[in-house]
Protein backbone atom coordinates (compact mmCIF):
# COMPACT_ATOMS: atom_id res chain seq x y z
CA UNK A 1 0.00 0.00 0.00
CA UNK A 2 1.10 3.58 -0.59
CA UNK A 3 2.23 5.79 2.23
CA UNK A 4 -0.30 8.51 2.93
CA UNK A 5 1.66 10.43 5.57
CA UNK A 6 2.97 13.96 5.63
CA UNK A 7 5.31 15.70 8.07
CA UNK A 8 4.32 19.10 9.45
CA UNK A 9 7.00 21.05 11.30
CA UNK A 10 7.39 24.42 12.97
CA UNK A 11 4.28 23.98 15.13
CA UNK A 12 3.18 26.64 17.57
CA UNK A 13 3.08 25.12 21.09
CA UNK A 14 -0.66 25.94 21.27
CA UNK A 15 -1.62 23.91 18.18
CA UNK A 16 -3.59 20.76 18.94
CA UNK A 17 -4.12 17.59 16.94
CA UNK A 18 -7.72 18.72 16.44
CA UNK A 19 -6.52 22.05 14.95
CA UNK A 20 -4.34 20.17 12.49
CA UNK A 21 -7.09 17.72 11.54
CA UNK A 22 -9.47 20.62 10.86
CA UNK A 23 -6.87 22.48 8.82
CA UNK A 24 -5.86 19.52 6.67
CA UNK A 25 -9.22 17.82 6.11
CA UNK A 26 -9.93 20.17 3.19
CA UNK A 27 -7.57 17.97 1.17
CA UNK A 28 -9.19 14.65 2.03
CA UNK A 29 -10.24 12.46 4.93
CA UNK A 30 -7.66 12.57 7.75
CA UNK A 31 -7.10 9.16 9.35
CA UNK A 32 -4.74 10.11 12.19
CA UNK A 33 -2.78 13.10 13.54
CA UNK A 34 0.01 12.80 16.08
CA UNK A 35 2.02 15.69 17.51
CA UNK A 36 5.53 14.82 18.67
CA UNK A 37 8.44 16.64 20.28
CA UNK A 38 11.88 16.56 18.68
CA UNK A 39 12.93 13.48 20.61
CA UNK A 40 10.25 11.58 18.64
CA UNK A 41 8.08 10.99 21.68
CA UNK A 42 4.34 11.56 21.35
CA UNK A 43 3.34 14.88 22.89
CA UNK A 44 1.10 14.20 25.90
CA UNK A 45 -0.51 17.39 27.13
CA UNK A 46 -0.65 16.51 30.82
CA UNK A 47 3.01 15.46 30.89
CA UNK A 48 4.18 18.77 29.42
CA UNK A 49 7.67 18.10 28.10
CA UNK A 50 9.82 21.19 27.77
CA UNK A 51 7.51 23.71 26.10
CA UNK A 52 10.47 25.12 24.21
CA UNK A 53 11.09 21.77 22.49
CA UNK A 54 10.34 22.05 18.78
CA UNK A 55 7.19 20.17 17.88
CA UNK A 56 6.11 18.50 14.69
CA UNK A 57 3.26 16.28 13.56
CA UNK A 58 2.65 13.36 11.31
CA UNK A 59 -0.69 13.40 9.53
CA UNK A 60 -2.05 10.27 7.89
CA UNK A 61 -4.64 10.49 5.14
CA UNK A 62 -6.73 7.70 3.67
CA UNK A 63 -5.46 8.46 0.15
CA UNK A 64 -2.12 9.33 -1.38
CA UNK A 65 -3.82 12.06 -3.44
CA UNK A 66 -4.99 13.83 -0.28
CA UNK A 67 -1.48 13.68 1.17
CA UNK A 68 -0.02 15.12 -2.05
CA UNK A 69 -2.59 17.95 -2.13
CA UNK A 70 -1.87 18.75 1.54
CA UNK A 71 1.70 19.68 0.60
CA UNK A 72 0.19 22.94 -0.68
CA UNK A 73 -0.03 24.13 2.93
CA UNK A 74 3.74 24.54 3.16
CA UNK A 75 4.21 28.08 4.49
CA UNK A 76 0.57 28.37 5.63
CA UNK A 77 0.26 30.43 8.82
CA UNK A 78 -1.52 28.63 11.67
CA UNK A 79 -1.73 30.31 15.09
CA UNK A 80 1.05 32.69 14.14
CA UNK A 81 3.63 30.26 12.77
CA UNK A 82 4.30 29.20 9.20
CA UNK A 83 3.95 25.46 8.80
CA UNK A 84 6.73 23.44 7.20
CA UNK A 85 4.97 20.68 5.24
Residue 37 lies in a domain: yes
Residue 58 lies in a domain: no
In which band, very low, low, confident or very high, does the pLDDT at 35 lie, cut at 50, 70 and 90? Answer: very high
Confidence band of 54 (pLDDT split at 50, 70, 90)? confident
Residue 46, pLDDT > 70, answer no
77 falls within a domain: no
**pLDDT value of residue 24:** 98
Residue of 8, 6, 15, 19 whose CA lies nearest to 80: 15
Predicted confidence at residue 45, as pLDDT, reads: 56
pLDDT at 52: 62
* Overall domain count for the chain: 1
Q: Residue 13 is part of which domain span?
A: 1-49
- Residue 1 covered by a domain: yes
Cα three-residue angle 10-60-54, rounded to 5 degrees: 20
Amino acid sequence: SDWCYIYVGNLNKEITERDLARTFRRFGHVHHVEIRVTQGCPYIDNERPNLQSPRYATIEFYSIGAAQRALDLNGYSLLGTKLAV
